[in-house]
Structure 1
Amino acid sequence: MNQLKLGLPKGSLEKATIALFEKAGWRIKPAARNYFPKIDDDELDCSICRPQEMSRYVESGMLDAGITGKDWTMENRSDTVLVCDLVYSKVSNRPTRWVIAVAGDSNITCLEDLEGKKISTELVGVTKRFFEEKNINVTIEFSWGATEAKVVSGLADAIVEVTETESTIRAHGLRVIYELMESNTQFIANKDAWADPWKREKIENIALMLQGSLNADRIVGLKMNVASEHMEALVEILPSLNAPTVASLYNKDWYSVETVVSEEVVRELVPKLKKVGAEGIIEYALNKIIS
C-alpha cells in the first residue's frame, strides 16, 4: 500500500494543526510522550517534530511532506517544494511577525543604534543575514528560550522574537523598534516525493482540503424564504461570494434563497433581511469553502 510520511508541528502550533486537520476531514489522536500519532487514513504515516527542524527532515526525505513556518524554512535555507501557504497560528488565522525589540527605557530607537550591540534570538541565520545586508555590525547569540528576559536581565541589548499580539513583549517592558519579517505556516514537500505521481496527488488533495477549511474561517451560510414580491429588495442587500442560490418553493409564489457571508455581518444583516420580507432565516456553520 502506498503511504505518505507526513510531519506535523510540535509545540504551539500542534493543537491548531490537529484542529485544522479535523475540520478538513482527518482525525488525529496524539498520545502522551508519543511522537507518532494515529490518524484515520491508512495512506498517511504521521510524525510530530519541532517546526524548527521540519524543513530539514522534509529536505532529507525522512518525511515526504510537513507543516512548518516560513521563518524556519528560511532559517534552514531548505531546498523543498512550497505546496501552499496555510495562514493560521495558535491565536488567529493571520501571519506572525518577527520583530526587533529593546528595553522600554533604552536609547536605541532605530536599526543604526544597534551598531556594536548584542542581540539574542532563536532565529540566528535570518537575523545575521539581515544585519549583514544592512552593513550593521552586531553580535548575535542563540537563545534557548525566554528570549524577552535577556534584555530585562542585561544579557542582551535587543532581541529578535516572534509575536502575534506583542502582549508578551509589552509585559516584559520591551519596545518594538523594527519589524524584521512576516511569517506564516506553510505546507512543504520533499522534491522526490513531489515528483512521485501518487504522493504528489495525495499532497495536493491534503492541501486542497486544508485550504478549504481555512477559507471557511468565520464564514457562515444563510438560508431563508421570501415571497416573490420582496425578492428584488432582498437580493439588493444580500451579500454573497458570487451570487445567491435561488429556488422556487413547491406550489407557492415564494423562493428559497441561500448565500454565504462573513460571520461578523450576520448580526446587522439578519434584521435587515427580516424587514424586507425574509422568513424562516437559518444560519449554519461551514467546514470548508473550496475555491
Structure 2
Amino acid sequence: MSNLLSLGIPKGSLENATVELFRKAGWNITVSSRSYFPTIDDEEVNCKLIRPQEMGKYVERGTIDVGIAGRDWVRENDSDVVEVCEMVYSKVSRRPARWVLVVTQDSPVRGPEDLHGATISTELVGFTKRYFAERNIPVNVEFSWGATEAKVVDGLCDAIVEVTETGSTIRANGLRIVCDLMESVPVMIANRESWNDPWKREKIETIATLLKSALAAEGMVGLKMNAPNDRVEAITRILPSLNNPTVAHLYNSDWVSVESILHEKEVRRIVPELLKLGAQGIIEYPLNKIL
C-alpha cells in the first residue's frame, strides 16, 4: 500500500456541498467542468469525481480507497465496504431521504404482501428485489429511467419504489405511500483492504474527524462580550453553550469577558437580553469546526 489516498467526490447534488465541507475542514478542492479529476491541496490525496450510484462498487473494488455517497446507493449495489461515518449535510437537507413503496390512491394494496406477482418500477432495482425476496413475496422489478411516478398513474406498473423527504410531491400527484422501505443519509465508505492498511486508515479517520467537526459547526457561531462582574450569573443563566460559557476576568478591572458557542438562530433572540443585562462589546464570529 502506498502513502497516497484515493478519494471519491460525489458528482451531482452532493458535489458542491462536499467541496465546501472539505474547505471548512481544511482542504481546498478545485473541480473543473472539463475534468473528472479534481485537484486538492494535499499531496497525500488524489480525487476523482464519481456518481454516487457507482461509488460503492468502485470503493469495494479498491479503484478508490474512500468515498462519499448516499447509503441507499451503497445498499443498492450491496457493496462490501466499511461505513466510516454518516455525513448529514445541512446545506442539502437535514432530513434523511426515504425510499417508499407507492401506489395510486384507489389501489387495494395495503402492505408489501399485497403485491404478490405485481410489477414494481424503480431506480433502486437491486435493493427492491432483495427487500421482497427476503419476505418471500414474488414480484417483477423493472428499472425506471425517470418519471417513475407517472408510470404507476398511467397503469404501466402496479407500484413504484421512489425517493422522497416529506412525501408532499407524492401526495400532490394523487399517490399514496404504503410504507417506508429504507432511510438514507450520505455516508463515508472505505475499501476494506485500505481500511486495514495502518497509514490509510489513519488518514481516513483524520479526514472523517475534521469533516464531522465542520458539520458540527454548521449553523453555529461564537459569541463574545464584556460584562460587569455582578451580572455574570444572570448572563450565563440565559446564555446557551455546548458545555458552560467561558468566563475570564479582565486585567485590573471588575469586568469579565464571557464567551460561548450557540446556534446562529439564537443570536437574534439573545442579544437584546444580553444588552439589557449590561453586556457590552458583543462580538459574533463564524465557526469552521467544532471538535
Amino acid in the other structure paired with 1:203: I
Q: CA deviation at 1:15?
A: 1.6
Contact 2:14 2:92 in 1 (8 A): no
Q: CA deviation at 1:169?
A: 2.8
What SS does the aligned partner of 1:187 have? strand
Question: 2-side partners of 1:146 and 1:35: how far apart?
Answer: 28
Query: Hey, what does 1:64 align to over in structure 2?
Result: 65
Distance of aligned partners of 1:151 and 1:52 in 2 relative to their CA distance in 1, 3 Å threshold: same
Q: Does 1:78 align with 2:79?
A: yes
Question: 2-side partners of 1:239 and 1:188: how far apart?
Answer: 35
Question: 2-side partners of 1:22 and 1:105: how far apart?
Answer: 49
* RMSD after superposition: 1.9
Question: 2-side partners of 1:104 and 1:20: how far apart?
Answer: 41
Contact 2:87 2:186 in 1 (8 A): yes
Distance of aligned partners of 1:165 and 1:29 in 2 relative to their CA distance in 1, 3 Å threshold: farther
Q: CA deviation at 1:90?
A: 6.5
Residues 86-105 of structure 1 correspond to what in structure 2 (within 5 A)? 86-88=87-89, 91-105=92-106
Query: Hey, what does 2:53 align to over in structure 1?
Result: 52
Identity fraction in percent: 62
Q: CA deviation at 1:171?
A: 4.5
Query: Hey, what does 1:187 align to over in structure 2?
Result: 188
Aligned residue pairs, count: 290
Question: 1-side partners of 2:150 and 2:20: how far apart?
Answer: 32
Moved over 4 A (4+): none
Contact 2:6 2:65 in 1 (8 A): yes
Q: Deviations over 1:28-70 (max 9, x none)?
A: 2111242111112221110111111111111111111111121
Query: Hey, what does 1:139 align to over in structure 2?
Result: 140
User: Structure 1 length as normaliser, TM-score?
Assistant: 0.92
Question: 2-side partners of 1:283 and 1:247: how far apart?
Answer: 17
Query: Hey, what does 1:13 align to over in structure 2?
Result: 14
Query: Hey, what does 1:211 align to over in structure 2?
Result: 212
Q: CA deviation at 1:242?
A: 1.0
Q: Deviations over 1:164-188 (max 9, x none)?
A: 2334434433332211111111111
Query: Hey, what does 1:246 align to over in structure 2?
Result: 247
Gaps of 5+ in 2: none
Question: 1-side partners of 2:239 and 2:33: how far apart?
Answer: 48
Contact 1:88 1:94 in 2 (8 A): no
Gaps of 5+ in 1: none
User: Structure 2 length as normaliser, TM-score?
Assistant: 0.92
Amino acid in the other structure paired with 1:243: N
Q: CA deviation at 1:74?
A: 1.6
Question: 1-side partners of 2:149 and 2:39: how far apart?
Answer: 36
Contact 1:9 1:68 in 2 (8 A): yes
Question: 2-side partners of 1:65 and 1:289: how far apart?
Answer: 23
Amino acid in the other structure paired with 2:17: A
